[in-house]
Structure 1
Amino acid sequence: MSTRNYNKDTNGLEKMRALVDAPKIVMLATQLNKTPFSVCPMTLQEMDTQGDLWFFTSKTSSHFTDIQEDNRVQIIYTDDEKKRYISIYGNATHIVDDQKIDELWNPMLNTWFEGKDDSNLALLNVNMENAYYWDTQHNKLVSFFKIVEGAITDKTPDLGEHGHIDMQDH
């Protein structure tokens, strides 16, 4: 597996776009300074043009309160089908923006909210600072055969790429 690192201004944003699909259920960790930290599943709605991640949240949720106290978050993104795994660190902000709510809203959200006008509805915006990724590109069976081939031929198999993406503006 090869290693490749990026900065936001040197193709890092494009790499994140290539890796991240939305909507997608991810794990959002808050209270990073405590053991154990708090974790909950969230649906990633989009990654916008600046690279920010957008979620819907309830003002009564524990992670909403956690972010008011400490806005540092960790997002664990897995895509078993595409064999992509990402750990994203960033800062979260609560946002009330009716235009953005209209843009991102879909009827499935009625499961958790009483429509777009729900008084508990808020947006959560995560500004990514750093990400670590593993993009294996191949399914398990192909990877298995590449490993066997590498063992027989003494060649290092290409099992994909992993690395770090610094998403901060420099």
Structure 2
Amino acid sequence: MTADDATDHKLLEVIGEIPIAMMTTYGPDGARSVPMARQEVDPSAELWFITARDTAHVRAIGADPTVTLTFSARDKWAAAYGRASVVDDEAKLKELWTTFAEAWLPGGPEDPNATLIRVDLQSGEYWDTPGGTVASLISFAKTKLTGDTYDAEHGSTQL
């Protein structure tokens, strides 16, 4: 990612504000989507997720590392595409560990079933409604009254 590309930064900003993604994998059993809690958004367009090793999405990544991530909030949305890898790094796992992760993996970061997924983003798009919910309502009303399109900032980028 180029450090001066505002669209790249805006995409990562939107993703960084939405903690849950739907991760779609494309393994031998076809496309499958699961909700995943995003742990970190690195400025180099690298995302981290904590997961259990014995899952269908980990097996799918082993067969085909292509993933799609979709993020949705009340006033912003993003779709990102990249390559995932399963990473066994106990120090990184401990660094990213949360009580939310513990709900899924009660053995903590030392649990042999706990692992990381790193997604290196390759491209993505975002839609953001500056001003939040109030601005969204005003834009919807304006659309209804004038026939103009909905006011949302949109960007698309190759990372």
TM-score category, normalised to shorter length: 0.7 to 0.9
TM-score by length of structure 1 reads 0.80
Q: Distance in 2 between matches of 1:157 and 1:63?
A: 38
Q: By how many angstroms is 1:22 displaced?
A: 5.4
1:125 match: secondary structure: strand
Instruction: List structure 1 runs of 4+ shifted beyond 4 angstroms.
Output: 32-35
Greater Rg by CA = 1
Q: Which runs of 5+ in 2 are unaligned?
A: none
TM-score by length of structure 2 reads 0.85
Cα gap change, 1:99 to 1:13, in 2 (>3 Å):
farther
1:67 equivalenced with 2:61 (yes/no)? yes
Greater helix proportion: 2
Q: Distance in 1 between matches of 2:26 and 2:71?
A: 18
CA deviation string 1:48-104 (max 9, x = no partner)? 131201000111000000000000000111011xx1111111000111112211211
What is the total number of aligned residue pairs between the two structures? 153
Paired letter, 2:57 = H
Moved more, 136-145 or 96-105: 136-145
Alignment of 1:98-109 (within 5 A): 98-109=90-101
Partner residue of 2:146 out of 141, 147, 150: 150
Q: CA RMSD in A?
A: 2.1
1:159 match: secondary structure: coil
Answer whether contact 1:149 1:157 (CA < 8 A) is retained.
Answer: no
Partner residue of 1:41 out of 35, 39, 52: 35
Q: Which runs of 5+ in 1 are unaligned?
A: 1-7
User: Greater relative contact order: 1 or 2 (C-alpha under 8 angstroms, separation 6 or more)?
Assistant: 1
Answer whether contact 2:39 2:49 (CA < 8 A) is retained.
Answer: yes
Answer whether contact 1:12 1:166 (CA < 8 A) is retained.
Answer: no
Answer whether contact 2:11 2:155 (CA < 8 A) is retained.
Answer: no
Answer whether contact 1:22 1:45 (CA < 8 A) is retained.
Answer: no
Q: Distance in 2 between matches of 1:15 and 1:34?
A: 34
Q: By how many angstroms is 1:162 displaced?
A: 1.3
1:141 equivalenced with 2:134 (yes/no)? no
